[in-house]
Structure formats: structure tokens, C-alpha cells
A and B are shown apart, each in its own frame.
Chain A
Amino acid sequence: MELCGLTVHELKDKLKKREISAADILDSCLQRTHQVEEQVKAFITITEETARETARVLDEKGEYPGLAGIVCGLKDNLCTRGVRTTCASRMLEDFVPGYDATVVKKLKAQQAVILGKLNMDEFAMGSSTEYSSFYPTRNPWDLKRVPGGSSGGAAAAVAAGQVIYALGTDTGGSVRQPAAFCGVVGMKPTYGRVSRSGVVGFASSLDQVGTITRDVTDCALVLNQIAGYDHMDSTSANLEVLDYTSSLVPEIKGFKVGVLQEYFQEGIHPGVKETIKRALLKMEEMGAIVEEISLPHIKYALPTYYIIAPAEASSNLARFDGVRYGLRDLEADNVEEMYINSRSLGFGPEVKRRIMLGTYVLSAGYFDAYYLKALKVRRLIKNDFDRAFEKYDVLVTPTVPTAAFKLQEHARDEDLLAMYRSDIATVPANMAGLPAISVPGGFVDEMPVGLQIIGKAFAEDTILRVAYAFEQHTDYTARKPSLGVK
């Protein structure tokens, strides 16, 4: 197998044994990228030169601690000093930050080889990467299908062998949903576990940086490097970070697994339902105690999300006014015209829609009915989870009720809500700030299906253990897409 198809831990082994160099890994990933990028379109910016330089310096020294020498990619809403950070928006097409996001600093300190910036739905708003202002990314398992979103470029690049792992962001499922669609592992840590500093804000109370990897071991390895308190983020948790590799134990006997019934009712694809049921049987075989459970308020999570997230977004995206950075209408005769024209030209339709929605739910006379109401329901949802975790170690759902849909499938405007429903099972974890992971759980019509495992706050170790054990007892992560590495 080519190097670009291996995992972080496999490559680390080879580097340690001096079988390969960082340049070998980079060459393999670059070659792969040259082969498939035309079809997959995972990248917005490729930083080949700096990647080569990092690899060269590493190989000179010949030591590869941590993630050193492993090729990775970053979703294009993570600020990178000196490298444009577009959020897949015309608005920021030429924006070059003078600073790194904290997670980027951490990767750079590890001498990770960053190959570039990955495609996404504009400002992380969307579930298919079709709302990228530049071009849609395609699913390496079937180029006629979407890779999911909003971190679609990240999931596709990992699945297609262009990078070994990637960082994305997850506000309502944006890491887990594309990971599920692309047959890779996607983890959204507990809110506050990973710094948001330098992450272009979408919905600040929900946003969290997540990992996309080929297997659960890699997830633990990468999470180890990006988790932790950051004094530059007031909402960052000042708690000790475990060595997550210590939770990689292939054994879950006696673990109590709650299966959220709400996600096995209407709206779920029968094939997905069957696949997940099989996965649950597997867990039972492994000795886990699997029970059905129902959370009374969870059906309100999605509507609550579609009030809170747009409300915060409308304010977070107000700073794009053309004055200090970003697209600007240079012909504008006065300030108001400059604002209106710059923003109308810079933002795509989904971003505008959400800004409109968010502005409306915060506006005078509607605040209580929508926004305040949503905050209260959010409390009820969190309470539901708190109660469930008194009894269960983890909760599971299908990550998405369907496998990857076709490009344009939800493009018709009346299908907006259908697209939004793609996040129905992932949104609750963001609402309650809980850690959740999507692991490959099987296949339907040759397309991957994700199994979501949700844990209590800061119990990343528990969900990693369950995910790892499941992975070790199945072979779904071993399967590669047709476009993948032979």
C-alpha cells in the first residue's frame, strides 16, 4: 500500500524505524493529490512549498516526535499566518491572517506537515460542501455524491488519501456528518476541550474544532495534540488532558449503551437503520449492555439549533463590512452603500439566508418568542442528556439518517429543510456541548454509514474506547473508496 493510504500510527512506526522519511510521505500525498484532486476538489489552497520545507528540515534532523512529518490538511476556517483563509467565501477570497489559530500553532509546534487548506461550505454553513463559493467537493466513494459538510473537503481529502488526517470544525455536525459520508472517523470533542482562538466564528456557543482521521487510534493521537486549555479563549476548559491513547482498549464488556430511539423512526433510510442495528448487535456480542432510550426534548434540538446558530452567526458575520479586510465595493459612494454592496457581493445564498434568519430572531419583538425560547429549550435538552448519563456510559445513534446524497439532490429550494435534517442526529451533542464521534459502522449500497457515539462532558476517553473496541471487532475502516488507494 502507498504511504498516503496509511494511518498516522503506521507512518509513525515507519518513521521511527527509519524505513521512510517525511519527504516520502509528502511525496506520496502530493502524487495522490495530483491524481485525484481534479475530481475530488478537496483543497482550496495547497501549500506545497512550506510543506516541503517542513519535511526537509525534519528529515535533516531525523527525529519525528508526536505528529512530526505526518501530512495533514486544515479546514479553511482555521486561521493560518501568511496563508489565505477563505472560509470558502468570496468575502475572504484574499484574506491572509497575520496569526495562527491555537490549534494550528500546536500542529506547527509538532512540525506537522500542513499540505493546505480544505474546502467547506461557506462559513461552515451547510451539509454538503456544495455551498462553497468556489466549487463543490465530491465524495471519493462516488463522485456523483456529496462528501457531506461543512468539513467536506477535510473528510474527502482523508478518505481519498490526499492527507493522513485533517482538522475541521463542528457546529452542528460539520465534522461527524462528512466523516460518516466519507467512511472515516470524525470526532467533535467536548465544548471547551479544544481552543476556538483563531477559528473563524460561526456560532460561538456551539463551534468546536474536531479531528478527521482514518481510524480511532489516529483520532486519539491527534486529539492528544490539539486538546487543552488556552488563555486566549475564555470558554476554554481549564482541565487536565488525558493521554487518549490509553483509552484504546478493545474491550467494552459491561458498558452501558443507550440507543436513542428518536433516530430510528421516521426519516431514517431503511438501509442505514439496518446497518446501525447490526452494529448494535455487534456491541452486544462484545458484552456491552445495549438498551433503547428516549429523550423527551431531543426532537426539539434541530429547531433550537436553527434559531441559536443563525442568531450567533448574524452577529459573528457582521464584522465582514469591507473596512479592514474582505471583499469591498470600491465604487460605493457612502458607508451604507459600501456595507450593503460588499456584504451582498461577498456572501453566498445560504450565508445570507442564515444571517437573515438570525437577525430576525434577535430583532425587537421576536427575541423572546424565538431566541430566548430556544435558550430555554437548550437547557431542557442538556438536562435530558445529564439524566441519561446517570444511567449510560455512552449514547449511540446513526450519525446521519442517510448515506451521502447526490450532488444537487437538495439544491432545489424546497429541499432546504431536507438538507437541514441531515444534521438531526449530530446537532444535539453541540446543543449540550458533549463529545461525540462518528466511526464507520457499515455500508449501504457501497456507501459508508456512520455510527455516532456520544459521551458525557469531557469523557472523550470513554467514547474513544467504545469506538476503538467497535473498530477492532469490525473491518469497516479497512475498506477504501474506489478512488482511494489501491
Chain B
Amino acid sequence: MVLTKQKIEHVAMLARLKLDDEETELFSEQLNSILAYVEKLDDLNTEGIEPLVHVLPINNVFRDDVARPGMPREELLANATMVEEGQFKVPRIV
């Protein structure tokens, strides 16, 4: 599979990244070379193999349903660049 320029732009949109023409060019070259490399996996027949998500066989890790205070609001907001009325401020949505 080859990553076209169009596909790169679509992926950049999904990832919320802006690439200029030069970067698009460069990335498409680099990503294609990486993809060509990982296509090595196609040599393997993996039919019927269970995908491995967790290396450890751990299940059912739970906490009890007990409410505790969160963090002080000033601390929560301390790293935000725009705050108003105790909330995070963002520019218009549409």
C-alpha cells in the first residue's frame, strides 16, 4: 500500500496536524519507506492467531465506588492559557 499525498493530507486532518508542502513531500517519502519496511509482516500467515493487547494475563482490576475530592480548581486550571469563570476557554466551535 502506498501513501498518496491525498491520503497524507487526510491523515494529517485526523491527527490535527498541519503540514506544509515540503513536509508533506518529506513525510510521504519517509512514511512510505517505513510502511514498506513493516510490510515485511505480510510474509507471515497469522490466520487464527489471537491478537495480543496485554502481555500480562491480568483481568478485573477494579476500584471501589467511593467518592473522594478531586484536585483544587486552581490547580486544575493552573496550566491552562485561557480560563474564564473557573472554566477552560476555547474559541468558537463552528
Contact = CB atoms under 8 A, between A and B. Distances in A.
Indicate yes or no for A touching B, C-beta below 8 A: yes
B75 A98 contact: yes
Contacts, number: 166
A16 interface: no
A382 interface: yes
B56 A192 contact: yes
Given A303-B41, A333-B91, A433 B56 contact: yes
A417 B37 contact: yes
A357 B34 CA distance: 9
B17 A356 contact: yes
Given A306-B34, A353-B30, A335 B91 contact: yes
B55 A374 contact: no
A335 B93 contact: yes
Contact of B52 (A95, A192, A352, A379): A379
Nearest to B83: A324
Interface residues of A, number: 72
Contacts of B66: none
A437 B79 CA distance: 37
Contacts of A356: 8, 11-12, 15, 17, 27, 31
Size class of the B contact interface (CB-based, 8 Å)? 35 or more
B41 A377 contact: yes
Interface string B49-68: 11111111010010100000
Contact of A376 (B11, B30, B52, B63): B52
B72 to A, nearest CB: 8
A375 interface: yes
A279 interface: no
Contacts of B78: 96, 98
B81 interface: yes
B57 to A, nearest CB: 10
Nearest to A337: B91
B20 to A, nearest CB: 9
Interface in B68-94: 71, 75-76, 78-82, 88, 90-94
A295 interface: no
Taking each of B8, B15, B26, B34, which has the highest tally of chain A beta carbons within 10 Å of its own beta carbon? B15
Contacts of B37: 303, 306, 417
Given A359-B11, A416-B30, A235 B63 contact: no
Taking each of A307, A373, A417, which has the highest tally of chain B beta carbons within 10 Å of its own beta carbon? A373
B44 A380 contact: yes
Contacts of B80: 323-325
Interface string A376-392: 11111010000000000
B90 A373 contact: no
Contacts of B18: 340-341, 344
6 contacts: A324-B88, A343-B17, A357-B35, A359-B15, A379-B50, A457-B55
Interface of B: 1, 3, 7-8, 11-12, 14-19, 23, 26-27, 29-31, 33-35, 37-42, 44, 46, 49-56, 58, 61, 63, 71, 75-76, 78-82, 88, 90-94
Given A323-B80, A369-B1, 6 more contacts: A234-B58, A322-B81, A326-B79, A347-B17, A413-B26, A416-B33
Interchain residue pairs A-B with the least CB separation, the first 6:
A433-B55, A375-B51, A325-B79, A376-B46, A379-B52, A303-B38
